[in-house]
Amino acid sequence: MEILQELEKAFHDIPFENSDFQNKAFVMASHQTPARAYRAIGLRMFAKIRAIKELKYSREIEAIDIEELQQDTKNEFDNRRNKIKIQQKLEQHSWTDKLLNDAIKELDCLYAEFKKFPAISRDEFEAQELEYFTKKFSRALENHGNGTLESLSAMTDLENFQSKLLEIENNDVLKSIK
């Protein structure tokens, strides 16, 4: 049990989902246009929020289940089985707490990136679609459909994309779209 606690402590802050770098390089920069990056941030954030809400409701139902399992029955075997079921449920908490921690940290990163963008209208989004798909398919052709090469390209685009985000903060990109 001590080893398990040591491992849980050691890996508590190591992301088992996306790292901040992954979110910036692959969720945002790989989309190459501000509108697609904005959309990708929203999709990822809402997925995390849904997962957190699901965990919340799951824990509430689990608390009721545990309360029910704690009720003494006339059958000693059922009582013993129920104690084991309670133990199983409680042991899952450290794992789900770790995933919750990851989700919250990822949401913090994504939210900080989201705040760098001005609100993008549907028309502004649609205006960037030709650029997005042109770049996407050009990259696929350049890399001969090799996902690894495309991922490497996305990582090298991160610096360019970050400078594009600075332009967005100054509204230069959106002004040029209109």
**pLDDT tens-place string over residues 105-150:** 999 999 999 999 999 999 999 999 999 988 888 888 887 766 666 6
Q: What distance in Å separates the CA atoms of residue 30 and residue 155, rounded to the nearest whole number?
A: 8
Residue 46 burial by Cβ neighbours in a 10 Å radius (0-12, 13-18, 19+): exposed
Percentage of the chain modeled with pLDDT above 90: 62
Q: How many CB atoms lie within 10 A of CB 32?
A: 24
Residue 19 DSSP class: -
Q: Indicate the average pLDDT of the chain.
A: 87
First to last CA, the chain: 61
Segment 76-103 mean pLDDT: 95
Judge whether residue 104 has pLDDT over 60.
yes
3-class SS at 13? coil
Q: Output the pTM of the full model.
A: 0.76
- How many structural domains is the chain composed of? 1
Measured distance CA(159)–CA(96) in Å, rounded: 34
Residues 6 or more apart whose CB falls under 8 angstroms from that of 160 comprise 29
Print the domain residue range for 155. Answer: 2-177
